[in-house]
């Protein structure tokens, strides 16, 4: 009897350590078991998404609200009545941030194309504090959210059908033979080749747009710093527009017209403020 019990116990003891290893795996490690050699997984490892958690840790950020977007959210059923709860895992933005096998959507996405990226890439970020803009990619692309300028959606929205992924995951740029692509796919870096569908010399257009907007940003920054009316509503609105455009970081690629209009309006606010006083 004892011998049979021991024989039955041995397989369990052999399997038990393996179970603990599995339970300690991060979401990306679990995905890598099947997809680690895939083109998509190798591209993701080169992306900024794969560094999202490292950035927080290096800066010593401990606020859980930051981890909502900077790490993979794990869905943990608490009980039958409360549905699911979200907690930050020790994993960067990885496969499970966007995909789940039972989603029922194309490519097993958790949300449709036009909503998925915008669930994190938005200007309002609780971890930054009230009225502090973290990143404004979605708002600037759709031309909304700034002060003093009517909504001005980007002309790009007229030609892109899948939102952000149309450019940031476009595979027009081929990877080197036997290597991993540097733009598009799951690197999420937009390569200029995708622009060739509409623009003959995209690099030149981008350089010119960025130069013009950077000059406006610098001019507005000097005006904001020199202004003695930092407690006025107009100064605060001008500063908000400055932060709004700067935080988006594309310098006009997403929506040049709206970015330029916001900066010029802010300069006019400060100019009027000086004359009024």
140-183 pLDDT, tens digit per residue, is: 999 999 999 999 999 999 888 888 988 899 888 888 888 899 99
Tell whether 49 and 1 lie within a shared domain: yes
If asked whether residues 143 and 164 sit together in one domain, one would say no
Judgement on whether residues 5 and 80 belong to the same structural domain of the protein:
yes
Q: Which of 121-130, 181-190, 201-210 has the lowest mean pLDDT?
A: 121-130
Instruction: Flag whether 120 is in a domain.
Output: no
Higher pLDDT, 64 or 143: 143
pTM (two decimals): 0.81
Domain-embedded: residue 123 = no
At residue 194 the predicted structure's pLDDT band, cuts being 50, 70 and 90, is: confident
Asked if residue 142 and residue 35 are part of one domain, the reply reads no
Instruction: Choose the weakest-confidence range: 38-52, 109-123, 205-219.
Output: 109-123
> 83-88 and 73-79: which strand pairing?
antiparallel
One domain for residues 176 and 83: no
- As a whole number, mean pLDDT of residues 31-38 equals 93
The pLDDT value given to residue 148: 95
The domain in which residue 175 lies consists of 160-197
Residue 201 and residue 245 in contact, taking contact as beta carbons nearer than 8 Å:
no
Is residue 11 included in any domain, yes or no?
yes
Distance CA(232)–CA(18), nearest Å, equals: 63
Is it the case that residue 16 has pLDDT exceeding 70?
no
Instruction: Note whether residue 121 is domain-resident.
Output: no
Same domain? For 79 and 136 the reply is no
What SS3 state is found at 171? coil
Return the SS3 of 79.
strand
143 and 173 assigned to the same domain: no
In a domain, 17, yes or no: yes
**Total domains present in the chain:** 3
């Amino acid at each position: 009897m004892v011998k049979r019990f021991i024989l039955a116990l041995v397989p369990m003891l052999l399997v038990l350590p393996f179970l603990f290893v599995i339970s300690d795996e991060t979401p990306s490690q679990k995905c890598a078991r099947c997809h680690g050699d895939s083109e998509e997984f190798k591209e993701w490892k080169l992306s900024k998404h794969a560094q999202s958690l490292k950035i927080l840790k290096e800066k010593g950020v401990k606020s859980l609200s930051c981890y909502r977007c900077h790490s993979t959210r794990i869905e943990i059923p608490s009980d039958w009545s409360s549905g699911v709860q979200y907690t930050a895992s020790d994993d960067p933005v990885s496969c499970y941030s966007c995909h789940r096998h039972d989603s029922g959507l194309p490519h097993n996405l958790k949300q449709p194309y036009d909503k998925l990226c915008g669930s994190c890439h938005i200007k309002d970020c609780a971890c930054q504090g009230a009225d502090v803009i973290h990143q404004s990619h979605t708002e600037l692309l759709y031309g909304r959210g700034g002060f003093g300028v009517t909504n001005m959606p980007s002309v790009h929205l007229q030609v892109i059908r899948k939102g952000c992924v149309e450019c940031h995951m476009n595979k027009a740029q081929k990877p080197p033979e036997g290597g991993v692509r540097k733009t598009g796919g799951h690197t999420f870096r937009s390569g200029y080749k995708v622009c060739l569908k509409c623009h003959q010399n995209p690099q030149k257009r981008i350089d010119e747009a960025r130069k013009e907007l950077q000059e406006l940003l610098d001019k507005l920054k000097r005006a904001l710093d020199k202004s003695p009316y930092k407690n006025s509503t107009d100064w605060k609105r001008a500063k908000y527009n400055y932060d709004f455009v700067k935080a988006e970081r594309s310098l006009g690629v997403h929506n040049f017209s709206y970015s330029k209009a916001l900066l010029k309006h802010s300069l006019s606010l400060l100019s009027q403020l000086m004359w009024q006083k």
